Structure 1
Amino acid sequence: MQTITAIPKQKSIGSVQFLPVNLFASVMGISGLSLAWRQASKLFGTSLVIADIIGIAAVLMFIVLSLGYISKWILYPQKVKDEFKHPIIGNFFGTITIAILLLSSVVGTYSGLTGQVLWIIGTVTTLALSFIIVTRLLDGNHEHGHAVPAWLIPGVGTLDIAVAGGSMPFAWAHEINLLSLAIGGIVALVFLTMILSRLIHHAPMHSGLTPSMLIMIGPFEVGFLGYINFEHRIDQFASILFYFGLFLFIVLFFKVFKKSIPFGASWWGVSFPLAALSNAALQYAIFVHSWPLIAIATIILVLMNIVLVVLFVRTIKALFNGNLLKG
């Protein structure tokens, strides 16, 4: 009689070939969280050490993810090429360039020169990616189902040039910031119209893309931040951007945060829009300084911290369970 011996299956965290590019959204979210705590120190008097620790975490995460994705590019170039050409996934390459722009603000607090270099790199790559994506869309023959919130990432990315570049000392930075606001504002407006039309008139998106719906608040809250950094003031137009973004967030909150939506790397798509809203709410509360707005800014900041902690823990758990990097 043959005896069958059960051999325990060795666990593996997976392969770098399955490293999703949208994980760079985690760097965006954590960088935004660091900047939010820096704003919170002005409003609530909290310690800047919190912002410093979170900023260091963002830098380390960017380094680790960059090494991982460069390895994927070297070992599996066709997979990276296929991702870049994909009508939906290709837009998430914007998370890399936006992460660089946000890190320029985080790092620039400690080293002005390093922050300026990162901002220039982020600006060039963001504008180049926006050009590629818009050109690709104008080739035509795109399906209605491909009009998803991820389309907004390259457009919102150009708005982040002004968010991070409002204090750049270069003589030409003013016009670059104005250029980025023009591109980001108009592209986001056109794309948002197409995305809303698709969401209203066609079948719901795949559940895996549902968290990315929160990206739709990006043009308003990032636009608010970019506009006030450029104008160095908060006027009625800026207030309109902030309040509509807040309204849209409340509408989308109940559609996105559901237990029925399975966890995946795409959930990090909620992190940066939430961080942008938190930064906008904190800056607006500092400007108006009324208790309802201070309360709103506090609630959003607390919510963002809870969401990012949950996302981080679940991502680490998925990594070591072998679910994050599996085919």
Structure 2
Amino acid sequence: MTQPNGADAITHSKLEHYPITIFAIIMGLSGLTLAVQAAEGIYGMTHTLSHGIYGFTCFLFFLLAMGYLAKCLQYPAAVMGEWRHPVKMAFFPAVSISLLLLGSATLSRNAQLAEFLWIIGMALQAVLTLAVVTGWISSRSFQTGHLSPAWFIPAVGNVFVPIAGVPLGYFELSWYFMSVGLVFWIVLMALVMNRLIFHDPLPGRLQPTLVILIAPPAVAFLAWVRLYGEVDAFARLLINAAYFFTLLVALQLPRILRLPFALSFWALSFPFAAVTIASFTFAANTGSMAHQLIGTGLLTVLSVIILGLLLRTWRAMRAGEICVPE
């Protein structure tokens, strides 16, 4: 068999190491789209900026999805290697969550397309949740060091479903996913905090995943308001939990940002987007000026984070540091 050489060899090598974690970029940009859209609604602005970010995010999702599909076809063993990896397997639902987020962002633009994206994302999320949780409780043995906040992604990712599911009319189905997500948030929160407090610190590449602690209560708040129709006591509990984790993570950011760049840094983006959207949603439902100002401040931070991540990702691509063996 003829071996690829030159540029072809480089291309094949890059494709083989194309990481599933790359879909965290879409989660971050989708979150930015929804956060900017929420800000535009609060301040009575036109949706020009959010339309632009939305279009860029959809285009990038298509490119990244085609790249990973090509990897699936040409290097199925490499894909299975990621699936069996105790940390990387948690990032596979980033694909379904990206679809759910794009469905939510599409809702005000094209309801039929939004429903199409939501159904695919919802079905894929259901399958991946069962597959990942089955893998966790199977005969395979996991070590404490394998656990990280990234484990929230597969199971707690279910709370994304009601955000677009309720407006689309899938009320009872949304309650199913909300229930699964909340139960696993409680279970995993206990496990992750035990890991962080009583065991060795997270490895450098996983340090940015600490920011994921913000996302479950922030997204659960958004889903609860969709399901319940108003900001009640439980919704207040959720958003204030999100604020606590935001403050906790803010104290860790200076240390995290000094670490060498990796794609895992994109874990910084969506959680900040989620708490930003939650703040604007609280303000829109209660008229709270304080939460409107908090949302505006968080949106500024989110914009700086994503701009910085885009620049650092571009530099890493030019330096050939993306899609390389770890």
Give the TM-score category using the shorter length. over 0.9
- What's 2:148 paired with? 148
For 2:23 and 2:101, locate their aligned partners in 1 and report how far apart those are by CA, in whole Å.
12
Number of residue equivalences:
314
Distance 1:314 1:156 in 2: 29
Amino acid at match of 1:236: A
Report if the CA contact (8 A) 1:13-1:325 is conserved.
Answer: no
For residue 281 of structure 1, the aligned residue among 254, 260, 279 is: 279
Segments ≥4 residues shifted beyond 4 Å: 11-14
Whose relative contact order is higher, 1 or 2, with alpha carbons under 8 Å and at least 6 apart? Answer: 1
What CA deviation, in whole Å up to 9, does each residue of 1:76-123 have, x standing for no partner? Answer: 110111101111100100110000001112223222111111111111
Matches within 5 A, 1:241-320: 241-258=238-255, 259-320=257-318
Partner of 1:23: 22
Letter in structure 1 aligned against 2:147: A
Amino acid in structure 2 at the alignment position of 1:125: L
Q: So what's the TM-score if we normalise by structure 1? A: 0.92
Opposite residue 67 of structure 1, the aligned amino acid is M
Map Cα deviations across residues 129-160 of structure 1 (whole Å, 9 max, x no partner): 11111111112521111121111001221100
Quote the residue 1:49 is aligned against.
Answer: 48
- Larger deviation: 12-21 or 236-245? 12-21
Spell out, residue by residue over 1:298-325, the C-alpha distance to the aligned partner (whole angstroms, 9 max, x if none): 1101000110011011111111210112
Q: How many angstroms does 1:12 deviate by?
A: 8.3
1:35 alignment partner in structure 2: 34
Identity of aligned residues (%): 29
**1:69-148 matched pairs, under 5 angstroms:** 69-139=68-138, 141-148=141-148
The answer as to whether partners of 1:156 and 1:218 remain within 8 angstroms in 2 is no
Amino acid at match of 1:297: G
Could you tell me how far 1:163 is from its partner in structure 2? 1.6
Contact 1:12 1:322 in 2 (8 A): no
Give 1:176's aligned residue.
173
In the alignment, the residues of structure 1 paired with residue 75 and residue 254 of structure 2 have an alpha-carbon distance, to the nearest angstrom, of 34
The residue type equivalent to 2:125 in the other structure is T
| Other-structure match for 1:185 | 182
Shift of 1:291: 3.2
Q: Which blocks of at least 5 consecutive residues in structure 1 are unaligned?
A: 1-10
Q: Distance in 2 between matches of 1:256 and 1:192?
A: 20
Deviation at 1:30, TM superposition (A): 0.8
The CA deviation at 1:13 is 11
> SS where residue 15 of structure 1 aligns?
helix
Structure 2: give runs of 5+ residues left out of the alignment: 1-9
In structure 2, how many angstroms separate the alpha carbons of the residues matched to 1:274 and 1:111?
26
Q: Does structure 2 conserve the Cα–Cα contact (< 8 Å) formed by 1:104 and 1:119?
A: yes
Alpha carbons 1:281, 1:296 under 8 Å: kept: yes
* Range with greater deviation from structure 2 (106-115 or 34-43): 106-115
Structure 2 matches for 1:52-63, cutoff 5 A? 52-63=51-62
For residues 272 and 254 of structure 2, the distance between their equivalents in structure 1, rounded to whole angstroms, comes to: 12
Structure 1 residue 14: Cα displacement: 6.4
Whether contact under 8 Å (1:100, 1:122) holds in the other structure is yes
